[in-house]
Copies of this chain bind each other. A is one copy, B any other.
Amino acid sequence: MVGAGIMGADHAENLARNVGGSTLACVADIDAERAKAVASELGARAVTDPLELIEDDGIDAVVIASHDTTHPELVQACLAASKPVLCEKPLATTADEARRLVEAERAVVDQLGRSLISVGFMRRFDPGHVELRRSLAAGELGRPLLLHGISRNVSAAPGATNESAITNSAIHELDSFPWLLDSPIEEVSWVPGIPTSSEAAAGLQDPAFMMIRLRSGVLATLELFLNAGHGYSTQCEVVGERGTGRLVEPAGASYSLDRKNYVSFPADWRPRFAAAYRRQLQAWIRSLQEGTLSPMASAEDGLRASLAAEAMVRSMHNGGAFTQVAA
């Protein structure tokens, strides 16, 4: 496990305890204390140099959840070591870097006969997303025509910008929408609006409203609201010729209290996507055990999402015009 921050600690715990077939051997973090804290709790070794971990012969596969900017170099090191790597999204912070990883992996595939890079677009393993995709693939809703997506956070991470809102948050939908509807993104549009006056959003166009057109012709829309305040929520409705399908957000119980009948929103993404993260890891581990193709998003998927994100950023800087995604 490379990275012992919030996501890294979660992945580490899952690898050590909640999925079958894996042993957490080592945790790397530049912050030695953080690495030790996570590793000792889970019976693993701690190091500060991720390359030491990656190159360790006793380690079969690597999960990367360190800072986004470190992803390309670390993934390259995994390729050099011929080790399967699960890299948290985004695969890289620019499409150019993502493309170099795709190309580097291709050389490895030619040599090893199998690909090595998987990208952590965990919505592909969320039970709701999986069920919605199943119904679409089965034709139960007829041909899809529209998709309405909503992504709300309680508050933006410190330092968030209009660009990072796209490259770091909306990138989930830039992967999940074409995956759900089995059609790549052709053009995107970032529509100006008015921002919330929440302090955390100073300088941000938040919420942002985006349009995403797929090759199939489906028009997808996305409200991305980083400082929504009231709760974490990921919603999606697909409108087909025969009917619509909509994600139901998980909730164990509803309550009647204080004149309200309610279900609660989680404060962040971890409870919302806990099942997705575990199932993703489990599916990846099993593919490694069985020597089959990783069922996760590939490096090419990561590149495609980055290309769509860059087109969205261009649209933003260009008054919201529909902007082609580069090939």
Contact = CB atoms under 8 A, between A and B. Distances in A.
A143 interface: yes
A257 interface: yes
A137 interface: no
Interface string A220-251: 01010100111101000001011111111011
**Secondary structure class of chain A's binding surface, majority of residues:** mixed
A324 interface: no
A203 interface: no
Nearest to A243: B257
A74 B216 CA distance: 48
Given A252-B127, A252-B128, A243 B258 contact: yes
A272 B267 CA distance: 25
Contact of A230 (B225, B231, B243): B243
Given A17-B20, A256-B265, A148 B148 contact: yes
A320 to B, nearest CB: 9
A40 interface: no
Contact of A255 (B195, B207, B246, B286): B246
A181 to B, nearest CB: 12
Given A193-B146, A253-B247, A253-B248, A258 B230 contact: yes
A141 B223 CA distance: 17
B243 A229 contact: yes
Interface in A272-327: 275, 282, 286
A108 interface: no
Highest count of chain B CB atoms <10 Å: which of A126, A218, A244, A245: A244
Given A194-B145, A260-B262, A262-B262, A255 B244 contact: yes
Contacts of A260: 230-231, 260, 262-265
Given A193-B217, A217-B193, A18 B282 contact: yes
A197 interface: yes
A70 interface: no
A209 interface: yes
A160 interface: no
Nearest to A194: B217
Contacts of A244: 230, 255-257
A131 interface: yes
A7 interface: no
A81 interface: no
Nearest to A281: B20
A191 interface: yes
Given A18-B20, A191-B219, A257 B275 contact: no
A68 interface: no
A156 interface: no
A207 B146 contact: yes
Given A146-B207, A246-B255, A260-B264, 10 more contacts: A132-B253, A140-B257, A141-B257, A145-B193, A196-B241, A230-B258, A242-B257, A245-B255, A248-B252, A261-B264
